[in-house]
Amino acid sequence: MGRLIISESEKTDILRQYNLILEQDAEREPLVIDKVITFPAGYYSEKYLKDLIPEVEKITQYLKSGKGNAFLVGVEMSSGESQIPNSDVETKNPEGTTQGWLAQQRQTSITKYITDQLQGFVEQKLLLSLPTFTINPIAIGQTPWVGQTFIQPNGEKYVCTEKEKLAGCITKYRACRVSTCKDLASKYASEQYIKVKITLKELSEQKKCLDNMTIEVNYTKGGHTCNASVYKIFINGIQLTRNDGKPFASLNNDIINTNRELNYYNNNPKQSGARYNKFIITPEIATELLKGGKKSFTISAMCWNPLGYSFPNWGYGCHEGVGTIIVTNGTGEKFTYESSTPRERDETKTLVTINACGSGKK
């Protein structure tokens, strides 16, 4: 009876189903912080961000408790303004009356504050990278200002005009906002907000797979000789370096016509014509690849043909078949793919798209 072979990820799933995986070995739930930030009216600088101090402490504890693992952090910001005219109380900037300006300044302050607070964790290798920020468009409230009727405590009905929107309207609104205009004030207040959502996600499994992953570009089939088969190899646009320090893969194997210059491009040449090229995803490259929460990774090849070697069937381009691509992840799982390479000189072609653990399954 044949053996049933399962992958490491499948083993993990089975162990988790039967509660046989230790909590410290499992990926933790993401840390999600939802916070409404309050600034004093007309202010926006970082010194008013005391609401975020305890949240940064939560992030600190979460990261320290998972030391040795890799984390990504994303920040989403949503802001709203009412139609009440703004004013820059802090620096008296004349642009402060422009709709949306105050919210933009507050977003800038929050972005800088969070980035500065988390910089140290990147340096300590607790975070893969600085946060990625998603800034949603500023929502302007639907409750009118110009044309609005402010009923005064004495019963006077004051209608706000365009001419008086920065002066008389403000005075009349302030006179009634806690009494006869309090329902209107509540509407305006509900339209004024800055919401910050911070999400930290542990990437221990992906990082474990990508660290020291090897990508082999080999020709082992025999029956073919060609010296138009030198390619630059990339993963998600990052050029890889072969394990002998050379920035290309060579499948050149025409032994009879190979000269010293062509020999430079060979890696572990064999008289049988087989060629082997191994590229290693270092932990540093793995970190770069995981930035932004990427889940798919495209391995591609560019036809280089550095010596401009002309072959009857390919001209000055490259041989069309690459042979075999072998991906071995950091936990030892191996995946084999067949692909064709670009034929035209300087053309780039996708060889295979994989997930973080090397599988072609999305």
Q: Please report the pLDDT score of residue 21 as a whole number.
A: 40
Angle at the Cα of 66 from the Cα atoms of 63 and 70, rounded to 5 degrees: 80
Residue 299 has what pLDDT?
A: 95
The whole-angstrom separation of Cα 233 and Cα 243 is 12
> Which positions ≥6 away from 331 have C-beta within 8 Å?
8, 208, 209, 357
Q: Where are the alpha helices (DSSP H) in 239-347?
A: 260-263, 283-290
Write out residues in the chain with pLDDT < 70, as ranges.
1-28, 67-68, 222-225, 227, 254-273, 311-314, 320-322, 361-362
Domains of the chain: 19-142+187-202 (3.30.1330), 206-354 (2.60.60)
**For residues 42 and 102, what is the distance between their CA atoms, to the nearest angstrom?**
7
Distance CA 158, CA 179 (A): 15
Please state, as a whole number, how many other Cβ atoms lie within 10 Å of the Cβ of residue 38: 12
- Structural tokens at position 101: 């300006």
Q: How many CA atoms lie within 13 A of 225 on its CB side?
A: 9
pLDDT of residue 183: 96
Query: What does the pLDDT look like over 99-155, one tens digit per residue?
Result: 999 999 999 999 999 999 999 988 887 787 889 899 999 999 999 999 999 999 999
Residues 152 and 33: their CA atoms lie apart, in Å, by 41
